[in-house]
Chain A
Amino acid sequence: MKILVVDDERDIQTLFEQRFRKEIKDKTLEFAFAFSGEDALTYLNHPEHQTVLILSDINMPGMSGLELLRHIKQKYTAPPPLVMMITAYGDAENFNRAKELGADDFLTKPVDFNYLKEKFRQ
């Protein structure tokens, strides 16, 4: 299962790689990283990206996570990847907006990786 993580914090890559070390070793999970919304779209434009889940931060300079979400849900009608939004601000407005745009899940920082693992398993 290929997961695309979008965040402007580059260290998120190390963190995910460490947190899902076993899963990566077992090849049960495969991670790709993008450091902005624009990068993410470029990656997704690749025909063989095989991404099934996107984990995106909302607050990023340039294209925000919500805009990325809108692009993804509008362009990739069949079959659209699941999008999970992650934000530092667990407010209702962002949550509702993300839901409106078709976000499949909504997580609040700091991310509970055990909970995330459960989600992936599902």
Chain B
Amino acid sequence: MNTILKKAVVVCCILSLWLAQYSFAQDYCFNCNADSLVQVLHKAKTDDEKIRLLTLLIDLKVFDVGSGESSKSDSLVLENVQSLIKLSAKQKVKNIDAYKSLSDALQSLVKKNYLAAQSSFIKSISLFDKSHRKIPRLLAAVRYTYNSAGNQEDRLRFYTDKLHYYLINGPFENVAPCYHGIGGYYLYKADYNKAISNYLRAAAIYKKFDNQPYLNDLGVIAMNYANWGNNEKALEYFKLAIAFNRIVKDNRTWNLIYNSLSGINRAYKNYPEALLYADSALVLNNNHYRTFMAISYVEKALTLICMNRLPEGLYNLNHAKQIADSTHTKVYTASGGMEIDFGYYQYYSAIKKYEEAGRSLKTAYEKAVDAKSNELQLKYLRELSFFYGEQLNVTLATEFMKKFFDLTDQLNLEHSSFKVAQYENEEKEILQNDSINVLKQHTAIQAATIKKSNTILWGSLIALIIISVSLFFVFRQYQLNKKILSSLRKTQRQLILSEKMASLGELTAGIAHEIQNPLNFVNNFSEINTELIAEMKLEIEAGNLEEVNAIASDIDANEKKITQHGKRADAIVKGMLQHSRSSTGVKEPANINALADEYLRLAYHGLRAKDKSFNATMKMDFDEGIGNINIIPQDIGRVILNLITNAFYAVTEKKQQLPVGYEPTVSVSTRRRNGKVEIKVADNGNGIPQKVLDKIFQPFFTTKPSGQGTGLGLSMSYEIITKGHGGELKVETKEGEGAEFTIILPV
């Protein structure tokens, strides 16, 4: 069951990490459980995953390094950093140089070379800063090296510089450890006011992103209030810390809280509870944090001495001393004061061994001086002054009193009468300011909203105007286009009409000639018949019946000629009318050969009418088996006329270039082939140049001099054949040899 649960937890962790990987652009997980990360890391398969998990783990675990609590934990972080460096050999790892410096720092820590560790840490931090990485826990870890190396002024300088840097450049998360580090400096200076103020600032920032340091700060604040003598405030923060620790469950902070609570209860002479808290701390510690353990033993001992349980007190003091000596812990630690010698002083005082008591208290003071803990120095100096006063040793009492005041002056402490950290007052102000700011913000937002609304209003208005204006122009353009379009249509109609008129013009001359001939016949035969009838009358009178019969036959034949030529003229006139009329679009059976023949003649005579010198050989080759096919006769006639006219035009042109030795020839042929009817109109003119070949069917394209052609002939022909009859109009040409147009009509 347990293993199943563990597996479930691991799966959940992997899932959440996997989700986190896709949910967040930045790879930070300050509130992750380090143990879960380690488990996931063991199962990581890809290098990328390993690098990511190692980075996260180092972010978290670096918090405790150098605290002296656990060298095992320190070496684990070093291992992680070194695996990351190893991985960087085959895979790119961001900030690898920073990690290398971090590795140097951690190695220096193992050798207890704190100054070297410090400089490597600082180098690592400045390298991380180049990529603006969030490294709050690394920044926090550096403070231990200042405690261990004892260069507290450097600590203030470092954290102040970094604070200013991060406040300007970010990331904001890095600001919190700087405040914490500065707070530690003021604690060392026994300036509780400034110390607690800075811790409060750090806590306020940590609260937003990293629970463990936040909790730690709450504990530290409570402890310092207690040390400062404001137990109420201390309890307030302890309550906060306890409430919050139920969520975070950080054993280290529990130790801090329980040890502090033990001290506070002792101060209130609530000894059983003080004892309980010290014991609770020890149970919870479970041999994990040795410094805390030593402190707990001291707390327990001090309480026992107050309870007059002196041998037990001594036992616990000795135990604490054993641990402290083995870990080289100083009298003052980040986890709180390690007041073993003060304990001995109290023990010896209780058993009235004043010499040993005085010696122990002096040792305690000297150790405090050595640890540069002003807080403890002040406490011990005051105690020494009181002690020697009671011993009636005025000289020593005065001496220590003087030292106490000197130190007080030197530290230039600003003792707040209420012992409430400046920050808390500031915080109230901040809160007030915040509410003012909120109000201001609301006003600003309202103003902005109004402004925005106005902007939107104006914007809308402008947009409306623009749209209206555009619409107006569009409308104008539309009207203009409509006008242009209608005038274009008019022009188009005129052009089509003029094309019709042009072909009509070509026709008229031909028609005139064509009508003239039959009319001449009609007139002539009619005249002859009049003569013949007169002759016949004479012959009847003469009784020459044979002659009468012959004349009658002639009259009859002539009458037939008259009718024939009358009909011929009639057909021509009808054709002419048909041509000028717009197409009826009605297909009817028509003889394509007759049509071709008729229009060939019309075209020929039309040209002759215009150009008297014109002449050309006309070859006709009609397939008599075609019969009638369904076409729109006037349309097809127009096409044939067009093609023949063009052919005549082409040969005339060439004849003008070559007056001698060139026989202009236009041939028209019809064929029935593959169920289709082909009408070919060929000439032996100059042919169509390749560059204009693909343009000849385009409307308004013409090679004729301006005014001579509308450029619509072939385009209209093309339309008539393809759209009107579903046929094809093809052209084949060889430059200098002529052109051949083929109309292919489906039957």
Contact = CB atoms under 8 A, between A and B. Distances in A.
Contacts of B228: none
Contacts, number: 61
Interface in B605-626: 605, 608-609, 612-613, 615, 617-618
A94 interface: yes
B516 A11 contact: no
A78 interface: no
B interface secondary structure, majority: helix
A112 B601 CA distance: 25
Interface stretch (B145-153, B522-530, B538-546, B734-742): B522-530
A23 to B, nearest CB: 13
B266 interface: no
A18 B554 contact: yes
B693 interface: no
A51 interface: no
Contacts of B528: 15, 18-19
A67 B612 contact: no
B557 interface: yes
A111 B528 CA distance: 13
Interface residues of A, number: 24
A93 B610 CA distance: 11
A15 to B, nearest CB: 5
B520 interface: yes
A74 to B, nearest CB: 14
B71 interface: no
Contact of B516 (A15, A21, A61, A109): A109
Given A59-B513, A59-B605, A89-B608, A18 B525 contact: yes
A14 B517 contact: no
Contacts of B517: 9, 88, 109
Contacts of A59: 513, 605, 608
Interface string A26-65: 0000000000000000000000000000000001011110
B612 A93 contact: yes
A19 B613 contact: no
Given A62-B617, A67-B615, A93-B613, A88 B521 contact: no
A61 B524 contact: no
Nearest to B601: A61
B558 interface: yes
A113 to B, nearest CB: 8
B362 interface: no
Interface of A: 9, 11, 14-15, 18-19, 21, 59, 61-64, 66-67, 88-89, 91, 93-94, 97, 109-111, 113
- Report the 4 A-B pairs with minimum CB-CB distance, sorted nearest first: A110-B520, A64-B615, A61-B618, A93-B612
Given A19-B524, A21-B554, 15 more contacts: A9-B521, A14-B557, A18-B525, A18-B532, A18-B554, A59-B605, A61-B601, A63-B617, A67-B615, A89-B608, A93-B612, A94-B612, A109-B516, A109-B517, A110-B519
